[in-house]
Amino acid sequence: MKTKLIIGLAAAGLAGAALAQTGAADTIKARQAGMKVVGASFKGVMDQSRGTPDAAVVKKHAAALVAQSAKINGWFGPGTATAPGVKTSALPTVWSNSAGFRKAAVNYDTQAKKLLALANAGDVAGIPAQARALGGTCKGCHDDFKAKGD
C-alpha cells in the first residue's frame, strides 16, 4: 500500500511539473506575441512622428501599446523564466530585480497612456516628443532586462 502511494505521489509530482512547464511555455509564447504587437505598434507611432502625425493612426497604435502594457507583469510571472524547447530573450534580472522590472513596466504604461491621451486630444504637436519618451522606456527595459542581439 505504501509503495502504491509513493508511486502515485511521484507520478502526480511529475505530472504537475510537466503541467507547470507547459504553462511557462505558453506564457513565454504569449509574451513574445505581445511584444511583437508592441514593436509593430511602436514602429507605427514612430513612422507617424517623422512628419505631421495623423492623430487617428497614432491613437490606434497607442491604444494597442496601452492594451499590451496591462499584460506585462503577467507575462513575466514566477516560473516563466524558461521552458523546455522555448527560446527567450528575457534576462534573469527580470526575476532577480523584480521591483526594478515592475517599475520599468509602470513607467512604460504611464508613457503609453500619455501618448494615447495626446492622440485622443488631437495634439499632433506633442506626439513626437511623447513617442521619444515612450521609446526611452522601451530602451531602458531592453538595456536592463533583455539579452543583447535578440
Domain boundaries, the chain: 2-145
Read off the pLDDT band of 149 (50, 70, 90).
confident
d(CA 45, CA 37): 12
Phi and psi at 90, nearest 5°, equal -70, 130
pLDDT of residue 2: 56
Does CATH place domain 2-145 in 1.20.120.10?
Answer: yes
Rounded mean pLDDT, 41-56? 95
* pLDDT digit string, tens, across residues 60-99: 999 999 999 999 999 999 999 999 999 999 999 999 999 9
Task: Give residue 142's identity as a one-letter amino acid code.
Answer: H
Whether residue 30 has pLDDT greater than 70: yes
Q: Is 146 helix (H, G, I), strand (E, B) or coil?
A: strand
Beta bridge partners of 50: none
Whether residue 9 has pLDDT greater than 70: no
Tell me what percent of the chain is helix, strand and coil, each rounded to the nearest 5.
75, 5, 20
Are 89 and 146 in contact by the 8 Å Cβ rule? The answer is yes
For cell 512604460, name the residue: 108
